[in-house]
A and B are shown apart, each in its own frame.
Chain A
Amino acid sequence: MIEFHSVTKRFPDGTLAVDDFSLVLPSHKTTVLVGTSGSGKTTLLRMINRMVDPTSGSIEIDGADIGTLEPVKLRRGIGYVMQNSGLLPHRRVIDNVATVPMLRGMAKKKARDEALALLDTVGLDRLLANRYPSQLSGGQQQRVGVARGLAVNPNILLMDEPFGAVDPIVRAELQQELLRLQRELGKTVVFVTHDIDEAFLLGDQVVILRTGGKVAQVGSPAEILANPIDEFVATFVGADRGKRSLHLENHGDGDIVVDETGRLAGVLVGSGPSASPSTVSSESKAGPRGPGASAQGGDSR
């Protein structure tokens, strides 16, 4: 369990990145910090492994004030995954994964053996073990990043926009992979993203931040979606997504579903004069909402 007690961070240049932030992050759950750019997500995350120290307030891990712990030792016990993987470009994949266990004194052979097993865990082919990071695709690099984060078998895994730099298909794949891993491993995950859909997908607890590291709302995805606390949160989560008004537009080749802002939301399949039971091409399991058509909104953001 990670606890923030009235944590404030003001950088030397005067920027107030986090303002009086208090939160309990339950063990074995995924807490997602989500907010616009500059809302203090990274700063909050980095305070957990003391990359950044709070100006005031305290942070406890399982009841111990981390301010009293030695930063390097603390970090070696916490997994960290960042955007663009942050892998060491001069070390092979396997050595990147084995790095931290070796820093902690594990014998090279054992560290490498365990690293290979971790490649399996994150769904990477062992044949990639001897490549350098630059010889991998972005998605593969992120998997290595996750494997490295898991290498010391940490209780806590910090992830800073880990899937921010990969294409939507690979991102979806990595998200599912993380959900699977989390089901198997049950780490205390702190995940930073600015993508609300990703936050709702991955988070047991979602924290919506506004600029200046202020909490706008904390809750489960369902709670937040059902009861956005104010206009800011409502807009941010796209609370209108459930009751969005969709309409059809004919574009010659067929009908497309468009939302009220004019954004393409989907395609009506089997529409037209000879329309049999018409459904929108989406994986929606929901029954028809509109007259004669079931429309599922695409990504609202």
Chain B
Amino acid sequence: MTWIWSNLDLIWDRTFDHLILSVPSIILSFLIALPFGWLAHRYRASRAVILTTVGVLYAIPSLPLFIVLPFIVGTSIRSPLNLIIALTLYGVALMVRVVADGLGSVDRDVQQSATAVGFSGWTSFWQVELPLAGPVLLAGLRVVAVSTVSLATVGAVIGAQSLGSLFTDGFQRGIQAEIIAGILATVLLALALDAVLVLIGRLLMPWTRRSAIGVVARPGAVARQEVTT
């Protein structure tokens, strides 16, 4: 325990390193998975190819990928960029299927009625299909976030700094508290990111909040204006 108190700075630095690796990866995974998921959803022919490819991608073991990737993309092996690319690939592999499933989950009637009242293809995608796929996307993104945070620790083996460095260092120097601190901090970080995602989801998708009363009782600008006039 004393180790933790006297090394809070170190833990904080590694947490920051960890965030630098995971947050961009999570965001990139989502953004990159969107078009591929959409393709897989939209075109039957592409679906099998895309989903099989991402399935295979996910099956690549992480350590070899971290080591091989620099030779392919030309980054240095310890650079955060190398890890971010690898983590993004795994995130994409998970997220593409989620996007395809999420878009597929949108009620056909709602889509049809959006078309019927005059939403054009892209307006309908951004304003109707994507938001309505939101709950599924969020569920997938939460899995991606947690798995990315956990996977980022592996980078420590090849010398990329992260919370994983606390376990590798702890093992080498035989400091048990450091190992425990690394594990705890990783779990807490995963939980914290998950909580952030849930919060973002609530803000962006107020209609999914089942506590309908809260939504109704809070008088919006329009109702207030009407009641007082």
Q: Which of A51, A85, A89, A148 is B207 in contact with, Cβ under 8 Å?
A: A89
Instruction: Kindly provide the distance from the CB of B111 to the nearest chain A CB, expressed in whole angstroms.
Output: 9
Scoring A residues 80 to 121 as 1 if CB is less than 8 Å from chain B, else 0, what string do you get?
Answer: 101011111111101000011001100000001000100000
Flag if B132 contacts A89 (CB, 8 Å): yes
Report B-chain residues with C-beta under 8 Å of the C-beta of A91: 207
Give the docked Cα–Cα distance between A126 and B131 (Å).
26
Q: When the two chains form their complex, are residues A112 and B222 in contact, meaning their CB atoms are under 8 A apart?
A: yes
**A200 contacts the other chain (Cβ, under 8 Å)?**
no
CA distance A164 to B148 in the complex (A): 49
Given contacts A116-B222, A129-B223, whether A86 and B109 have CB atoms under 8 Å apart is yes
B52 contacts the other chain (CB 8 A): no
Identity of the chain B residue whose Cβ is nearest the Cβ of A160 in the assembled complex:
B116
Contact assessment for B132 and A90 in the assembled complex, using a CB-CB cutoff below 8 Å:
yes
* Residues in B neighbouring A51, C-beta threshold 8 A: 112, 115-116
Which residues from chain B contact A116 at a C-beta distance below 8 Å? 222, 226
A89-B132, A135-B215 are contacts. A130–B207 as well, Cβ < 8 Å? no
> What residue in chain A is nearest B135 (Cβ atoms)?
A90
How many chain A residues touch B (CB < 8 A): the figure is: 36
Stretch touching chain A among B17-25, B117-125, B139-147: B117-125
Q: Are B222 and A89 in contact (CB under 8 A)?
A: no
Interface 0/1 of B182-201, CB less than 8 Å to A: 00000000000000000000
What is the 8 Å Cβ interface bit string for chain B, positions 90-116, against chain A (1 contact, 0 not)?
Answer: 000000000000000001011011111
Which residues of the other chain, B, contact A72 by a CB distance below 8 angstroms?
118-120
A76 within 8 A of B: yes
Chain B residues, Cβ within 8 Å of A87? 110, 113
Within 8 A of B (CB), among A118-167: 126-127, 129-132, 134-135, 148, 158
Evaluate contact between A130 and B222: CB separation under 8 angstroms: yes
**Which A residues are CB-close (under 8 A) to B131?**
90
B64 partner residues in chain A, CB cutoff 8 A: none
Contact residues, A147-193 vs B (CB, 8 A): 148, 158
Bound CA span A86–B115, Å = 11
B176-222 CB contacts (< 8 Å) to partner A: 205, 207, 212, 215-216, 218-220, 222
Identify which of A82, A92, A135 contacts B113 (C-beta below 8 A): A82
In the docked arrangement, what's the CA distance between A103 and B227, Å? 28
Asked whether B226 lies within 8 Å of A129 as measured between CB atoms, the reply is: yes
Q: B220 contacts which of A99, A130, A135 (Cβ < 8 Å)?
A: A130
| Those of B61-105 within 8 Å (CB) of chain A | none
**B50 at the binding interface (Cβ < 8 Å):** no
- Partner pick for A127 among B107, B118, B119, B223, CB 8 A cutoff: B223
Nearest chain B residue, comparing its CB with the CB of A86: B113
A75 beta carbon closer than 8 Å to chain B? yes
Residue in contact with A99 in the complex, picked from B107, B117, B207, CB distance below 8 Å:
B117
Output the residue of A80, A88, A100 with the most chain B CB within 10 A.
A88
A129 to B216, CA, bound (A): 9
Q: Is A30 interfacial (CB-CB < 8 Å)? A: no
Given contacts A126-B226, A130-B220, A135-B216, contact A86 B116 (CB under 8 A): yes
Residues of B within 8 A of A84 (CB): 109
Q: Does B128 contact A (CB under 8 A)?
A: yes
9 contacting pairs across A/B (C-beta < 8 A)? A75-B116, A76-B117, A80-B113, A80-B116, A86-B114, A100-B117, A127-B227, A130-B216, A135-B216
Query: Which 9 A-B residue pairs are closest in the complex by CB-CB distance?
Result: A86-B113, A76-B118, A75-B118, A130-B220, A80-B116, A132-B207, A72-B120, A90-B207, A135-B212
4 A-B pairs besides A75-B118, A90-B207, A104-B118 with CB distance below 8 A are: A80-B117, A85-B113, A89-B207, A130-B216
